């Protein structure tokens, strides 16, 4: 009996040993988790035509003043352009506007124009345009109410007088100290009179450049201040007996396209302007419509 019991115990112990794990045996490697299949759609391009934040979907609405003058806009005959009439590609801003539209994917037929008086373009509030192009210089104050694009033209201010004026031969800012000068209200041209020339007489203020030019023609002022590219049409057509006396020294000043504040379209337009600079289009437009001999800078 004792032998039988011992034999059973031995068999039990051997069974337990056979069932025990081997501490030296390697653990099986964990299977790495498989990546979930990418079933999500690609993020839409924010600058794709159907993603743009537009006043009218499928149409690019651009604003400018009426009339719009050369060298910025003009008819085929070289006359000022009416934005409510037939579209034009002639003029520097016209060329830039349609080139930007093309970069954004719009055909000429998908572009429409609205009239926006200069001083209304940078007022706060909703806009009836996607962007405005009207020789509006960037300023910090204006930028509080609207958004500006990057520069599409770097600009200088200039003084225009009649050729018969005692100030026509001015060679310095000091030579203009006694002049009665004028400019359109709310413009950097007006700021240039007050801050740069600082004449002894208060400047005359006009609702628009047409009124300022009429005052010059009628000798109500000794001279007017306008952006330099505009002097060519003024002295060549509007007041042929006038002359550009000189350009004004100033910090960097540039024209930007205007957008309703916060409109994401601005970023896409900046990409378009960068592409037009890179491929040489901006320089080509300037050479075709603006570049001319420039008067000296008045110090």
pLDDT tens figures, 93-130: 999 999 999 999 999 999 999 999 999 999 999 999 99
- In the three-class reduction of DSSP (H, G, I as helix; E, B as strand; rest coil), residue 118 is classed as helix
- In the three-class reduction of DSSP (H, G, I as helix; E, B as strand; rest coil), residue 216 is classed as helix
* Residues 212-247 pLDDT 10s: 999 999 999 999 999 999 999 999 999 999 999 999
| 221, 205 Cβ separation under 8 angstroms | no
Per the rule left: phi > 0, alpha: psi between -120 and 50, beta: everything else, 174 is alpha
pLDDT at 269: 98
Long-range CB pairs of 115-124, under 8 A, 24+ apart, other chains included: 115/63, 115/64, 115/65, 115/66, 115/83, 115/84, 116/63, 116/64, 116/65, 117/65, 117/208, 118/65, 118/184, 118/186, 118/187, 118/208, 119/185, 119/186, 121/63, 121/146, 121/258, 122/146, 122/258, 124/261
CATH of domain 49-154+253-289: 3.40.190.10
Q: Report the b/e string of 238-265 with b at 16+ CB within 10 A.
A: bbeebbbbbbbeeeebebbbbbbeebeb
- Domain ranges for the chain, please list them: 49-154+253-289, 157-247
pLDDT at 41: 67
- Identical fold for domains 49-154+253-289 and 157-247, yes or no, is yes
pLDDT at 291: 79
Per-residue pLDDT of the chain (299 residues; tens, 9 = 90+): 334 333 333 334 334 344 344 444 444 454 455 444 455 567 889 999 999 999 999 999 999 999 999 999 999 999 999 999 999 999 999 999 999 999 999 999 999 999 999 999 999 999 999 999 999 999 999 999 999 999 999 999 999 999 999 999 999 999 999 999 999 999 999 999 999 999 999 999 999 999 999 999 999 999 999 999 999 999 999 999 999 999 999 767 999 999 999 999 999 999 999 999 999 999 999 999 997 778 999 99
| 251, 130 Cβ separation under 8 angstroms | no
pLDDT at 43: 85
Backbone angles phi, psi at 223, to 5 degrees: -170, 165
Provide the residue count of the chain: 299
Q: Which two tokens stand for residue 276?
A: 């037009």
CATH of domain 157-247: 3.40.190.10
- Provide the percentage of residues in the chain whose pLDDT is more than 70: 86
Q: Report the b/e string of 177-187 with b at 16+ CB within 10 A.
A: eebbbbbbbeb
- Rounded to whole angstroms, how far apart are CA atoms 218 and 238? 12
Residues 6+ apart with CB under 8 A from 158: 225, 226, 227, 228, 231, 244, 245, 246, 247, 248, 295
Helix (H) or strand (E) holding 115: strand 111-115
pLDDT at 42: 78
């Amino acid at each position: 009996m004792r032998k039988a019991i011992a034999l059973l115990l031995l068999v039990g112990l051997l069974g337990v040993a056979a069932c025990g794990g081997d501490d030296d045996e390697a653990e099986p490697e964990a299977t790495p988790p498989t990546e979930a299949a990418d079933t999500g759609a690609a993020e839409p391009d924010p600058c794709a035509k159907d993603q743009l934040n537009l006043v009218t979907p499928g149409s690019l609405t651009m604003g400018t003043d009426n009339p719009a003058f050369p060298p910025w806009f003009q008819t085929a005959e070289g006359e000022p352009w009416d934005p409510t009439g037939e579209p034009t590609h002639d003029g520097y801003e016209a060329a830039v506007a349609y080139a930007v539209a093309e970069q954004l994917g719009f055909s000429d037929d998908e572009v429409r124009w609205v009239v926006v008086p200069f001083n209304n373009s940078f007022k706060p509030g909703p806009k009836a345009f996607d962007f405005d192009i009207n020789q509006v210089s960037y300023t910090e104050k204006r930028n509080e109410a609207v958004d500006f694009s990057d520069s599409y033209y770097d600009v200088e201010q200039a003084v225009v007088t009649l050729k018969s004026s005692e100030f026509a031969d001015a060679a310095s800012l000091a030579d203009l100290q006694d002049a009665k000068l004028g400019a359109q209200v709310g413009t950097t041209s007006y700021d240039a009179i007050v801050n740069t020339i600082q004449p002894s007489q208060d400047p005359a203020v006009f609702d628009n450049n047409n009124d300022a030019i009429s005052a010059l023609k009628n000798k109500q002022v000794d001279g007017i201040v306008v952006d330099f590219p505009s002097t060519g049409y003024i002295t060549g057509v509007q007041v042929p007996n006038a002359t550009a006396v000189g350009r004004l020294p100033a910090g960097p000043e540039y024209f930007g396209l205007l957008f309703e504040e916060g409109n994401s379209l601005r970023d896409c337009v900046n990409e378009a302007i960068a592409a037009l600079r890179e491929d040489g289009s901006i320089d080509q437009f300037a050479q075709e419509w603006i570049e001319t001999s420039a008067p000296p800078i008045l110090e």
